[in-house]
Chains A and B, each alone.
Chain A
C-alpha cells in the first residue's frame, strides 16, 4: 500500500529538485522547515521524531536539502516528511507537510473490529510495522 498522508502523496514521488522548490516556497513565506522521520506512520501518530530543530532564518532551500540528505543517510529506510511552521498570530501551526522519503515496502495497517454492545463496533488501526521492535521495522 501507499500511505497518502501529506500534501503530495497522490503524485509520483517528488524529485529532490521538486522538494527543494517546495521548501523554497516555505522559506519565502518565512516559515521554519522541520525534518521529521518515523517507523510508525499510524494516522494518529502526530509526533514523528525530529531531525534536529525546525530550521529558522534560512534563506535558501539548499540548507534544508543538506539536512535531508544527512537524515536519509541515517533513516533512509523510514518515512521522512517536511513540515513547515508558521509562527504568525492566528495560525501558529503547520502550513505545509509532505512526505519526502518512504520505506521500500509499505506494509500499511490492520483494522481490528471489536464487537461490543448491540451492533456497535470499536475500531482500532494498527501499523503492521509496529509488530516488530523499533528500529527493525523496515529491514
Chain B
C-alpha cells in the first residue's frame, strides 16, 4: 500500500490549476515524524473509486495548508514545513473500503495551550470533504513539547484524594434523580440522604441548570446544607458536583463563585459548553482550589459510530490537556456504550503518565504525559452494588463509581442504597487486598458482607438480574473482542 512519494517538486509544483493532493506534498511515505510533531490517525472511507492514498493525502491537505487548487501565495511561506504529511496508509483489518491514515503535523501549525485551535485544525474542515464517505479521528499523539503548554487537570487524582481524605478505594457518587422537577429543598434531601448513607459525592445531572422548577441558587444553598450536615454526621469530607453550566461565561463564573462562597469542594460543567469555556473553567478551578467535574454531555453524537466522527479517546486526551479533573469514561457493564478493551484504553489515557501504544485497546501511539496531572475517570449509568467485583476488575481503584438509580432506587430508601454500595465496595477492596480472587469469588464476598448489612442484602436481591448485554458499536480493530455479558 505504501508507495513511493509522488510529490511534484520545483517549478511545476506551483503551476496554476488543480493538482492531486498526493502530488502536492501531502503524501510523503518516506517522512519520519519528528518528536515534536503532532500525529493524527484517521479512519478514512473514500468514496467508491477514490484512491485511498489520494483520499488520505486530501485529509492531510485539508487539515493543514491546502485548498482545492494551487495558490501562488504558498510561495511566500515555508510551505513544505506547514504541509501536514500523510506518511502511512494501512487497510483496516476486516473492514473493506476503510483505511488508517497516519498524518504528521508540524508543531508550528498550532497555538500553545488551545484545544480550540488544535481541534479547529485537525477536525475543523475535513469531515465534510466530498471525496470521502466517512472520516473518523481515531487517535492523536501529542508531543511533550505541546503537552507542556497546557495547564492540565486543575486538581488531579492525587490531590483530589488528599483533599477528600479518601485513599485506597474508588470514590462513590450518585446522580440526583429524577433529574428534572425537584424543588431545591427536595433536591437537597436526596443529596443529604445519599451522602449520609455513605457516598462521597452526589451529582447534578447534565441538564440541571436553572429551570422554572428550581433556580440554581436554591439548589446550591440546599445542597450545601446537605453536604455540611452529612459531613458532620459522618466525620468524612463530602461533596456535591454543583453544575455551573449556563448560557454565558459570565453566568458560569457567577455560579462558580457562589459555589465557592458556600464552601463547595467541587463544581461541574458539561462538554457542550465548548472547549474554550472548559479551559476557562479549568483555569478558574485551579485558581480557586476547586475540583472540576466534566459531564461528557453530547459526545455520543460524534464518538459512537465506528466509521465517522471523533473517537472518545481523542476527546479524553483533549480534556486532560484542557484541565478538567473528572470525566465520564464508561462503565463496561452499565447501560451506556462501552466495549471493555476500548474503555480500558480511555481509562489509561486519563490515569497514566505514559501510555504505550496498545492496538488491542485502540491506543495507536505512545503518549507521554510529561507529569501532567491525572484525570479521574467516572463510571456512571446503569450500575449497581451486585456488580462491584466486575467494576473493580474492569475499572481499577482510581475511579468514581456513580450509582444513581442504584442508590436512589433502593427499596429501603436512599441512605440504605448508599450504604449498600459503600459496604459492597469496602468488602470487595478488603478481599482484593487480602489476595483473594475477588472477580470469581465476588458474589460470595458480597453475600458474606450482606449477612451483616441488610441494605446490601436488599440491593443484591432487587437488582440481581439487571444486565445490559448489547453488541458494542465501537471496538478495537486489532483484536477479537466480544461485548461483555455479565
A–B contact with Cβ pairs below 8 Å: the answer is yes
Q: Are B449 and A25 in contact (CB under 8 A)?
A: no
Interface assignment of B10: CB less than 8 Å from any CB of chain A: no
**Contact flags (1/0) for A88-115 with B, using CB distance below 8 Å?**
0111111111100000000011110000
Q: How large is the interface on A (under 10, 10 to 19, 20 to 34, 35 or more residues)?
A: 35 or more
Of A1, A90, A93, which contacts B162 at CB under 8 A?
A: A93
Choose, from B63-71, B165-173, B267-275, B322-330, the stretch at the interface: B165-173
Q: Are A109 and B232 in contact (CB under 8 A)?
A: yes
Interface assignment of A21: CB less than 8 Å from any CB of chain B: yes
Of B233, B371, B422, which contacts A10 at CB under 8 A?
A: B422
Q: In the complex, what distance in Å separates the CA atom of A6 from the CA atom of B429?
A: 12
**Contact flags (1/0) for B261-281 with A, using CB distance below 8 Å?**
111000000000000000000
Q: Are B231 and A43 in contact (CB under 8 A)?
A: yes
Residue of A nearest to B159 (CB): A93
Q: How large is the interface on B (under 10, 10 to 19, 20 to 34, 35 or more residues)?
A: 35 or more
Of A7, A43, A92, which contacts B426 at CB under 8 A?
A: A7
Residue of A nearest to B218 (CB): A119
Q: Are A7 and B236 in contact (CB under 8 A)?
A: no
**Contact flags (1/0) for A110-135 with B, using CB distance below 8 Å?**
11000000011111010000000000
Shortest distance from the beta carbon of B401 to any chain A beta carbon, whole Å: 14
Which residues, 385 to 421 on B, are CB-close (under 8 Å) to A? 419
Q: In the complex, what distance in Å separates the CA atom of A83 from the CA atom of B165?
A: 11
Shortest distance from the beta carbon of B367 to any chain A beta carbon, whole Å: 14
Which residues, 1 to 31 on A, are CB-close (under 8 Å) to B? 1, 3-5, 7-12, 14, 18, 21-22, 25
Interface assignment of B360: CB less than 8 Å from any CB of chain A: no
Q: Are A25 and B452 in contact (CB under 8 A)?
A: no
Q: In the complex, what distance in Å separates the CA atom of A18 from the CA atom of B452?
A: 17
Shortest distance from the beta carbon of A15 to any chain B beta carbon, whole Å: 11
Interface assignment of B17: CB less than 8 Å from any CB of chain A: no
Most A CB contacts (10 A, CB to CB) among B158, B235, B262, B435 go to B235
Which residues, 316 to 359 on B, are CB-close (under 8 Å) to A? 353
Q: In the complex, what distance in Å separates the CA atom of A134 from the CA atom of B11?
A: 87
Shortest distance from the beta carbon of A9 to any chain B beta carbon, whole Å: 8
**Contact flags (1/0) for B230-258 with A, using CB distance below 8 Å?**
01111111000000000000000000000
Choose, from B50-58, B174-182, B220-228, B461-469, the stretch at the interface: B220-228
Residues from chain A with Cβ under 8 Å of B435 in the complex:
21, 25
* A8-B426, A97-B168 known; A110 vs B433 contact (CB < 8 Å): no
Q: Are A10 and B231 in contact (CB under 8 A)?
A: no
Interface assignment of A139: CB less than 8 Å from any CB of chain B: no
Interface assignment of B434: CB less than 8 Å from any CB of chain A: yes
Residue of A nearest to B263 (CB): A123
Of B169, B262, B426, B433, which contacts A25 at CB under 8 A?
A: B433
Q: Are A44 and B232 in contact (CB under 8 A)?
A: no
Q: Are B353 and A90 in contact (CB under 8 A)?
A: yes
Q: Are A8 and B430 in contact (CB under 8 A)?
A: yes
* A7-B168, A111-B229 known; A120 vs B261 contact (CB < 8 Å): yes
Q: In the complex, what distance in Å separates the CA atom of A84 from the CA atom of B231?
A: 24
Shortest distance from the beta carbon of A124 to any chain B beta carbon, whole Å: 9
Most A CB contacts (10 A, CB to CB) among B165, B224, B261 go to B165
* A4-B234, A11-B449, A43-B235 known; A111 vs B426 contact (CB < 8 Å): no
* A43-B236, A109-B232, A125-B228 known; A7 vs B198 contact (CB < 8 Å): no
3 closest residue pairs by CB, A with B: A96-B168, A3-B235, A111-B232
Could you tell me which A residues sit within 8 Å of B by CB distance? 1, 3-5, 7-12, 14, 18, 21-22, 25, 41-44, 46, 83-84, 89-98, 108-111, 119-123, 125
